[in-house]
A and B are shown apart, each in its own frame.
Chain A
Amino acid sequence: MIIAVIALGLLAGASGLLLGFAAIRFKVEGDPMVQQIDSVLPQTQCGQCGYAGCRPYAEAIAAGEADINLCPPGGQNGITALAELLGRDPKSLDPASGIEKPKMAAVIDEQRCIGCTLCIQACPVDAIIGAAKHMHTVLVGECTGCELCLAPCPVDCIQMVPFAPTVTTWKWTYPVVEVKAAA
């Protein structure tokens, strides 16, 4: 009787220690699910999903509050990646949040810019530089194409321009010579 109690007690103690050790040794920082979802999102911070940025949207998905098909910049590929990550069925993009467009960057017509700084305050990634009453310009390399600067501009001098392929960004295409073409 005593031996059984001691044996079980020891066993329980050892397991407890092991679990406690494992909890410290393999501790996972933060909420990995939110981070994983966030890393799949395109980080345009455009808010088309209805949340204040990519991270809040990721949190909402992780909490089960938002669906996975609300991100137009991520497009169908992004939805598929989310579906795979979360083990759900892929859906098509919710047209209420927007449509998938080619990658674009904002360009300020510098002749018409009045230097109001409204676009600078709207830019979620600080990709517009300039000062009050001075001309502004967009750092094309940093622009995510979120279009948040378009609405605040009082003189409508910002345009979205798609990225044109150059010799460095040009890609070989998927071969189209398939069996059907030979018919």
Chain B
Amino acid sequence: MRFKTVTSPHLHQQTGVNQVMRRVLYAMVPGITALVWFFGWGILINLALATVMALGAEAAMLAARSKPLALHLGDYSAVVTAWLLAVALPPLAPWWMTVIGILAAIVVAKHLYGGLGYNPFNPAMIGYVVLLISFPREMSAWLIPHGIGQPHALSLLDTLQIIFGGAGSLPIDALTGATPLDVLRTQLGLGQTVAEIRNSPVFGIVAGRGWEWATAGFLTGGLWLIYTRTAAWQIPAGLLGGLAVMATAFYLIDPQHYAPPWFHLWSGAAIFGAFFIATDPVTASTTPRGRLIYGAGIGILIYLIRGFGGYPDGVAFSVLLMNIAAPTIDLYTRPRVFGERQP
């Protein structure tokens, strides 16, 4: 009797890439829920638009590269990229911005570099940075919390009209405002102290009003990702650690002009970036020690950009900068092999 011969091992776990990616999507749900509650339908519309566009772009690129469509669309990696980018976009961003961002992410950053597993840069962050540099005004116009759970909420129809048809007669400028980090930055530039700025209505208990709840949601999802070992704990630990150390140091030097560390950790995309963006395994460092260094590098860069750079938040730039460094970090942080003498 003849048999099939394949190499050992003959057992395999059924966890696949698609399951890993699906877990990331599940973990984003609490944070997204909070965002929708505070910032309204725009978030959901962006998500839906980005998902459709991402799948379309992915399918087109796969077809162009003659790769199996169903297999790769089913790995959910394009959906993860779409969600990461959509969450980072202003809730009332016009539809063509989402389209441009997704095309930059999927077509340029992902497929032109070889597709899943081969892209050196985080696709969602490439998409974000392309938009941030090209359309700085649109990208900084965030909605003042007017979500479905808020008074004066924008209706679904109004939101659709703003996104797809422009503001028209709607008082768009009255609805949007600067993000909390932007406010902090501008006001500090005007010579105000941190304490004075914190009295502004955009701030809540710890950080930006509304924002802080979204951050709590993303933290919950992120911790679940770590618990299920979907993401490596070293990257968020390194990132938040690096950011905290920098913020604490400057806060201790001058609490008048530097925001406290808890504000930094809880503001902007720090938590979201630590658990969802920086943990993208394809573009991160892969060694245990390397991941800590990689995370810490992002954390430090975030603080430097926030404090001294030209942009209110720096997660995207920091992640991309450390993406470049990842191969070098890997090279110098190889763990000791079993039986190898300590150098």
- The reply to whether A and B meet directly (CB within 8 Å) is yes
B116: nearest residue on chain A (CB-CB)? A179
Is B68 in the interface zone, CB < 8 Å from A?
Answer: yes
Chain A residue numbers with a CB within 8 Å of B337 are none
B7 to A172, Cβ gap below 8 A?
yes
> Which A residues are in CB contact (< 8 Å) with B68?
179-180, 182-183
Contact A179 B7 (CB under 8 A): no
- In whole angstroms, what is the CA distance A172 to B7 when docked? 9
Q: What's the Cα separation between A179 and B137 when bound, in Å? A: 43
Q: Does B71 contact A (CB under 8 A)?
A: yes
The verdict on B334 contacting chain A, using a C-beta distance below 8 Å, is no
> B7 and A183: CB pair below 8 A?
no
- Count of chain B residues near A, Cβ 8 A: 4
Residue of chain B at shortest CB distance from A173? B7
Please, how many angstroms separate the alpha-carbon atoms of A137 and B188 in the complex?
93
Query: What chain B residues lie within 8 Å of A179 (beta carbons)?
Result: 67-68, 71
CA distance A71 to B67 in the complex (A): 38
Least Cβ–Cβ distance between B78 and chain A, in angstroms: 16
Q: How distant is the Cα of A175 from the Cα of B68 in the complex, in angstroms?
A: 19
Which residues of chain B from 37 to 80 have a CB within 8 Å of any chain A CB?
Answer: 67-68, 71
The B-contacting residues of A in range 133-183, CB under 8 angstroms, are 172, 175, 179-180, 182-183
Residues of A with C-beta under 8 A to B7: 172, 175
Once bound together, how far apart are the Cα atoms of A71 and B196, in whole Å? 80
Q: In the bound complex, how far is the Cα of B293 from the Cα of A77, in angstroms? A: 39
Q: In whole angstroms, how far apart are the Cα atoms of A142 and B118 in the complex?
A: 46
Q: How far is the CA of A134 from the CA of B68 in the complex (A)?
A: 66
**Least Cβ–Cβ distance between A178 and chain B, in angstroms:** 11
**Shortest Cβ distance from A138 into chain B, in angstroms?**
35
| B69 closest partner in A (C-beta) | A183
Interface readout for B1-40 with A: 1 if CB under 8 Å, 0 if not?
0000001000000000000000000000000000000000
Tell me the smallest distance from the CB of B156 to a CB of chain A, in Å: 41
- CB contacts (< 8 Å) of A180 on chain B: these are 67-68
Per-position binary interface string of chain B over residues 75-107, scored 1 when its CB falls under 8 Å from any chain A CB and 0 otherwise: 000000000000000000000000000000000
In the complex, A182→B69 CA distance in Å?
Answer: 10
A182 to B67 alpha-carbon distance, docked (Å)? 9
Q: How far is the CB of A6 from chain B (nearest CB, A)?
A: 48
Q: Which of chain A's residues 28-51 have a Cβ closer than 8 Å to chain B?
A: none
Cβ of B73 to closest chain A Cβ, rounded Å: 13
Residue of B nearest to A175 (CB): B7
Complex: chain A residue closest to B117, CB-CB: A179
If A182-B68, A183-B67 are given as contacts, then 4 extra A-B residue pairs at C-beta distance below 8 Å, sorted by A number, are A175-B7, A179-B68, A180-B67, A183-B71
8 cross-chain pairs, A with B, having the tightest CB-CB distances, nearest first: A183-B68, A182-B68, A182-B71, A179-B67, A179-B68, A172-B7, A183-B71, A183-B67
Listed by A's residue number, 12 A-B pairs whose Cβ atoms lie within 8 Å are A172-B7, A175-B7, A179-B67, A179-B68, A179-B71, A180-B67, A180-B68, A182-B68, A182-B71, A183-B67, A183-B68, A183-B71
